[in-house]
Homo-oligomer: A and B are copies of this chain.
Amino acid sequence: MRQAVLAATVEILSAEGLAGTTVAAVARSAGVHETSVYRRWKTRENLILDALTAEVDTALPIPDTGRVDEDLVRYFRSLARLLGTAQGRALLRLSVEYEDNARTSGNAESDDGMLDDRRGLYWSERLRRAAVMVRRGVGRGELAADTDPGLLIEAVSGPLFVRALLSGAPLDEPLVRGLVALALDGARSAPRR
């Protein structure tokens, strides 16, 4: 049942957008009772988040080519592509709206507390998965031993998120390569070590 409901959710989301993705529509399309959906996911938002998470983790495999620069370019190329799709943007919007509500209401412990917590940490968790590419690079001696994996991932992913959310500037290959090169080599004119 879970797979059918999640697939129906993604399909409706792509066709109808966030507003059109109701539990009723999903249940009808998946051939299950609305009450079964509510029993499992509690809220429409949890359902949508669960569906998009499954999609995103499929869309963002963690490469392991043996070279940190190549791994990073491949991974962030996938992220850039995802953020350019309707589904990627839907997920981003959902995350921003959630953060907003959580702060405005000051209500950290809502009725579905555990699921809400997971939702707030959604992108942090996706990025934590990506840090393994950096740790491998450190292990192979490609990167300095004191490299902060999380910070490096943030420095490359941050501009991609901002372009998707705020500026609308293109999310293309030169951008991805430029950001990875900057995070690996820096902008200084002289070598530092």
Interface residues of A (CB under 8 A from B): 17, 89, 92-93, 95-96, 99-100, 103-104, 120-121, 123-124, 134, 137, 141-145, 147-148, 151-152, 154-162, 165-169, 175, 178-179, 182-193
Copies of this chain held together in the complex: 2
Docked complex Cα distance between A179 and B113 (Å): 33
> What DSSP secondary structure best describes chain A's contact surface?
helix
Smallest CB-CB separation from A140: which chain B residue? B189
With A152-B182, A186-B186 given, name 9 new contacts (CB 8 A). Answer: A93-B96, A103-B168, A145-B189, A151-B175, A152-B187, A154-B159, A155-B159, A162-B162, A191-B192
Contact B121 A165 (CB under 8 A): no
The 7 closest A-B pairs by CB, nearest first: A158-B158, A191-B191, A186-B186, A158-B159, A154-B159, A185-B186, A147-B187
Sample of 10 A–B contacts (CB below 8 Å): A93-B100, A99-B168, A123-B167, A143-B189, A154-B158, A158-B158, A161-B165, A184-B186, A185-B192, A186-B186
A168 to B143, CA, bound (A): 28
Query: Which residues of the other chain, B, contact A156 by a CB distance below 8 angstroms?
Result: 155
**CB-contact partner of A166 in B96, B167, B191, B193, under 8 A:** B96
Is B121 a contact partner of A167 (Cβ separation < 8 A)?
A: yes
A165 and B99 contacting across the interface, CB-CB below 8 Å: yes
Known A155-B159, A159-B158, A162-B161; contact A178-B148, beta-carbon cutoff 8 A: yes
Q: Are A183 and B155 in contact (CB under 8 A)?
A: yes
Residues of B within 8 A of A120 (CB): 168
Minimal Cβ-Cβ distance residue in B for A152: B187
